[in-house]
Amino acid sequence: MEYFIQQLINGLTLGAIYGLIAIGYTMVYGIIRMINFAHGEIYMLGAFISLIAFLVATTLGGASVAFGLLIALVSTMILTALWGWAVERLAYRPLRNAPKLAPLISAIGMSIVLQNFSQLSQGARVKPLPPLFKGGIELMHGNGFSVNLSYLQMVIMALTVVLMAVFTWVITRTSLGRAQRATEQDMKMAALLGVNTDRIISATFIMGATLAAVAGLMVTLYYGVIDFYIGFLAGIKAFTAAVLGGIGSLPGAMLGGLLIGLIEAFWSGYFSIEYKDVAVFAILVLVLLFRPTGLLGRPEVEKI
């Protein structure tokens, strides 16, 4: 029982991070029906930017750890958002009216470019960060096993909940969110009504990148090491989360992320850690066999 709860906690932490990344995939897909394969790399950049910002702030700027983290958070959100915006401007917008395959290939190209860029500018070796959040609380104890909730896990979950709440509010309550939903449902009609749809698409990339940036910071803190390649697997898993939840659906992306995190944690905890990724993708295949639109997705109605 104690072991189970511990895996639950670990899984939820991981799932929160996947969920944050998955939102970027699902939003972009919703609005331009395209899988942004470079999104995993945006998350990787977010991790690097937060690490660099933290080190600069604490070593050069002499900031305290807490203040350094705040600076890392804010700068990675802003700078990664800029990257997300630039990727759309440079690699996708010129292909807006091209056949569907063209932006997809452009996305794969962009993903390779960003990976190589980080590798060249930051080096290929892993970048370590000493653990900053030490300790935690012991939730329960029994059978010679104690259940721990670390402070870092608490921060990750709390920050995720806050971000999701703000994000949901923007989408459902603000005029920007309304314009995004309208653009998603019928882009031409939104433009007919005076919505600058290019700007809405930019805003969507910016929002997705901002959330991925926070995920990048969390991962840097959680694992303590990052390299230029982390975007690949995390990207694929977050994409899987988005598909599992129903691509295009925001609650779906959050749910899918949590499920992927939980599957991964439980599989590693009870079966074999080597096969955790296989388990994730096997479950994806199973779900899609029975619910092709994902858990919360709705069937795509072909528009004329």
Partner 1 sequence: MLAVENLHSGYGRIQALHGIDLEVKQGEIVTLIGANGAGKTTLLMTICGAPRASKGRVLLDGQDITQMPMHKIAHLGLAHSPEGRRIFARMSVLENLQMGGVAGDPAHYAEDLAKVLALFPRLQERLNQRGGTLSGGEQQMLAIGRALMSRPRVLLLDEPSLGLAPLVVRHIFDLIRQINRDQGMTVFLVEQNAHHALKLAHRGYVLVNGRVTLAGTGAELLANPEIRAHYLEGGAHGETA
Question: Under the criterion CB under 8 A, does residue 101 sit at the interface with partner 1?
Answer: no
Q: Which letter, b or e, does each residue of 224-251 get, where b requires 16 or more Cβ atoms within 10 Å of its Cβ?
A: eebbbbbbeebbebbbbbbbbbbbbbbe
Of 65-73, 195-203, 260-268, 277-285, the segment contacting partner 1 by CB under 8 A is 195-203
DSSP classification of residue 140: E
User: Residue 82 corresponds to which amino acid?
Assistant: L
The single residue among 93, 96, 181, 276 that binds partner 1, judged by CB under 8 A, is 181
Quick one: 134 or 303, whose CB is closer to partner 1? Answer: 303
The single residue among 102, 178, 276, 283 that binds partner 1, judged by CB under 8 A, is 178
The single residue among 36, 197, 210, 268 that binds partner 1, judged by CB under 8 A, is 197
Contacts of 114 (CB under 8 A, 6+ apart): 38, 41, 42, 44, 45, 83, 87, 231
Of 55-63, 144-152, 192-200, 233-241, the segment contacting partner 1 by CB under 8 A is 192-200
Question: Under the criterion CB under 8 A, does residue 302 sit at the interface with partner 1?
Answer: no
Question: Under the criterion CB under 8 A, does residue 174 sit at the interface with partner 1?
Answer: no
Question: Under the criterion CB under 8 A, does residue 175 sit at the interface with partner 1?
Answer: yes
Total residues at interface with partner 1 (CB under 8 A): 18
Beta carbon of residue 251, minimum distance to partner 1 (angstroms, whole number): 13
DSSP H stretches of helix in 134-249: 151-173, 175-185, 187-192, 197-223, 230-245
Q: Are 29 and 212 in contact (CB under 8 A)?
A: no
Question: Under the criterion CB under 8 A, does residue 97 sit at the interface with partner 1?
Answer: no
Q: Which H or E run contains 38?
A: none
Question: Under the criterion CB under 8 A, does residue 272 sit at the interface with partner 1?
Answer: no
Cα–Cα distance for residue pair 129/132, rounded to 1 Å:
8
Q: Are 151 and 136 in contact (CB under 8 A)?
A: yes
DSSP classification of residue 175: H
SS3 145: strand
Of 105-113, 190-198, 272-280, 284-292, the segment contacting partner 1 by CB under 8 A is 190-198
Q: Are 155 and 73 in contact (CB under 8 A)?
A: no
Residue 50 has which token pair? Answer: 């937060």
The single residue among 14, 91, 163, 195 that binds partner 1, judged by CB under 8 A, is 195
Quick one: 100 or 125, whose CB is closer to partner 1? Answer: 100
Question: Under the criterion CB under 8 A, does residue 32 sit at the interface with partner 1?
Answer: no
Question: Under the criterion CB under 8 A, does residue 79 sit at the interface with partner 1?
Answer: no
Question: Under the criterion CB under 8 A, does residue 26 sit at the interface with partner 1?
Answer: no
Q: Are 192 and 176 in contact (CB under 8 A)?
A: no
- Residues in the site for partner 1, rule: CB under 8 A? 175, 178-179, 181-182, 185-186, 188-197, 304
